[in-house]
Amino acid sequence: MNSKPLGEVAKVIAGQSPASSTYNSTGQGLPFFQGKADFQEMYPKARMWCTSDKRKIAEAGDILISVRAPVGAVNICNQKSIIGRGLSAIRPFPELNGMFLYYFLIANEERIDALGTGSTFKAITQATLKKIEIPLPPLSDQIRIAHLLGKVEGLITQRKQHLQQLDDLLKSVFLEMFGDPVRNEKGWDSELLVKLVSEKIGYGIVQPGKPVEDGVPTIRVGDFIGTRIKEYGIEKVAKEISAKHKNSILKGDEILLACVGATIGKVALVGPNHAGYNIVRATARIRASKIINRLFLLHFLLSDFARNYYIKVTRAVGQPTLNIKQIEELNVITPPIALQNKFATFVEKVEALKSRYQQSLNDLESLYGALSQQAFNGELDLSRVPSPDVQADSEAIETTEQVETPVDEPVAIDLPDTDYLLDALTDYSLRERLLADWLESYCQQIGKADFSTDNFLAAAQTRIAELHPDNDFELGAGDYEIVKGRVFEALQAGTLTQSIDEAHNLIRLNTGKPA
């Protein structure tokens, strides 16, 4: 397969940082992206805006690549934006398909990161970036490859969303059953965590040493997958090292709590298959006594109350660390054990569904890795990959024939006009108000039908076009985040409810109270 340096097949634009006096968080000017911190799954999220005339511009469709600590991460610019010095914008020439380049850069992120230099903050120079060799199959093949990888990536994103929805469901059910532990409006008794454990809480191995082939599997925080421990790839330490720390050898029924640095507050449930494993210094093991359900305790440790406690007690110079005494002194609400057990039964059903989604996600990620490697090495048989338009048509037909979505759509939605609508299109804070008002109206109009964020945003976009047909404003990722936040608030308030539709393998949002 032929290849060319990036600088010959795309325009590479180095970012620069305008004067900080031109920054704002109220939506004035253009979105300002500074680095990977602004990146999401595919498109960046605006957190800051900039009004400077001295700026470097990225256009919609440009690929944004992080060029300073960390190096190599990419997103696709979805609107005209200003980029800071932590980013470069890559604008492909006609011979290079933008999505093909995007997926190539994702597949080679580690290799690009290795090209970075610098003892304090790693960075990659523009000259080095422009020399990266880009494979160049025929443009039609580039489009096929990008479309194929995009389909798999879309399924991966969908599985991640399903897992997040299930986590959100568990959080909302916890709040519904037990209330907010911060306010404890239900008046539950409470106990210090030290009085709710069957043995002393303890840290793991202090210095695990180098991984070995024949040793004791040792769980690290990186082995946490949600609230579970990953099944494969756990590194082992020498048996003699593990023996020195026999007090942290797992029995198979513990909760692990991350207690160092940015991961503080992450938790994972240990299963019987992990009996005999050990844990690293960055984690603490907690064994619940019989007076508290460990699944209830696990989700209490994930609550905002617990997270706020971790932040409060670890505020200090240097790397924050939860010590054993601080963990022991966490105040835990203790509802009746029968209610805890009822919650635990629900958790087990949700976790079973999560396990299926996680296995599907693992399989899809393995497939994506294999396909991308073959595609960019010229080893993929593209004769078996239909062109995007043919594939899209066939999939649309297949979807129509095989899938019946159990969603009741309202006949018509009439979102109200407001005297500040035009201002809201350019003022982010006013747009938050507008979407909140429209969301309330929308939920009232759909009654007890299933709620869909996508359907609401589509209705909002349609209403904007109806009221101001000459305005080309389009709702974006930031507006989706506004609505998502409002939806979660509604779940907490009980004006929206979540439930599992096992028959259709869906998470359903409904504006009616559960039966």
DSSP output for 138-183: -HHHHHHHHHHHHHHHHHHHHHHHHHHHHHHHHHHHHHHHH--TTT
Residues 110 and 229 in one domain: no
pLDDT score recorded for residue 492? 62
Residues 149 and 132 in one domain: no
Quick one: which of 230, 213, 215, 227 has its CA closest to 276?
Answer: 215
The number of folded domains in the chain is: 4
Residues 197 and 326 in one domain: yes
Q: How far is CA 178 from the centre of its chain?
A: 26
Residues 255 and 219 in one domain: yes
pLDDT score recorded for residue 99? 96
pLDDT score recorded for residue 317? 58
For 95-106, how does the pLDDT look when each residue is reduced to its tens digit (9 = 90+)?
999 999 999 999
Residues 389 and 290 in one domain: no
pLDDT score recorded for residue 454? 73
pLDDT score recorded for residue 444? 83
Mean pLDDT check: name the lowest of 133-137, 162-166, 229-233, 497-501. Answer: 497-501
Of 314, 334, 354, which marks where a domain is finished?
334
Q: Rounded to whole angstroms, how far apart are CA atoms 178 and 300?
A: 10
Mean pLDDT check: name the lowest of 16-20, 243-247, 375-379. Answer: 243-247
Residues 447 and 366 in one domain: no
pLDDT score recorded for residue 477? 62
23 in a structural domain: yes
407 in a structural domain: no
Mean pLDDT check: name the lowest of 109-118, 200-209, 347-356. Answer: 200-209
Q: Which residues contact 343 (CB under 8 A, 6 or more apart)?
A: 173, 174, 177, 178, 293, 295, 296, 299
Residues 361 and 435 in one domain: no
Residue 392 has pLDDT above 60, yes or no: no
177 in a structural domain: no
415 in a structural domain: no
Residues 193 and 262 in one domain: yes
Residues 256 and 161 in one domain: no
Say what the pTM is.
0.68
Q: Which residues contact 246 (CB under 8 A, 6 or more apart)?
A: none
Of 311, 334, 357, which marks where a domain is finished?
334
Q: How far is CA 132 from the centre of its chain?
A: 29
Tell me the pLDDT band of 348, cut-offs 50, 70 and 90: very high
Residue 401 has pLDDT above 60, yes or no: no
pLDDT score recorded for residue 448? 73
Residue 399 has pLDDT above 80, yes or no: no
413 in a structural domain: no
Mean pLDDT check: name the lowest of 136-140, 194-198, 242-246. Answer: 242-246
Residues 387 and 275 in one domain: no
Segment 448-469 shows an average pLDDT of: 78
Q: Rounded to whole angstroms, how far apart are CA atoms 238 and 216?
A: 6
Q: Which domain holds residue 391?
A: 145-171+344-402
For 39-52, how does the pLDDT look when each residue is reduced to its tens digit (9 = 90+)?
998 999 999 999 99
Residue 493 has pLDDT above 80, yes or no: no
395 in a structural domain: yes
Mean pLDDT check: name the lowest of 166-180, 238-252, 269-283. Answer: 238-252
412 in a structural domain: no
Segment 487-511 shows an average pLDDT of: 62
CATH of the domain at 93: 3.90.220.20
Residue 389 CB burial class (10 angstroms; 0-12, 13-18, ≥19): exposed
- 203 DSSP β-pair partners: 284
Residue 400 has pLDDT above 60, yes or no: no
- 24 DSSP β-pair partners: 49
Residue 316 has pLDDT above 90, yes or no: no
Residue 276 has pLDDT above 70, yes or no: yes
pLDDT score recorded for residue 453? 76
179 in a structural domain: no
Segment 472-477 shows an average pLDDT of: 71
pLDDT score recorded for residue 221? 93
CA quadruple 149, 154, 157, 158: dihedral sign: negative
370 three-class SS? helix
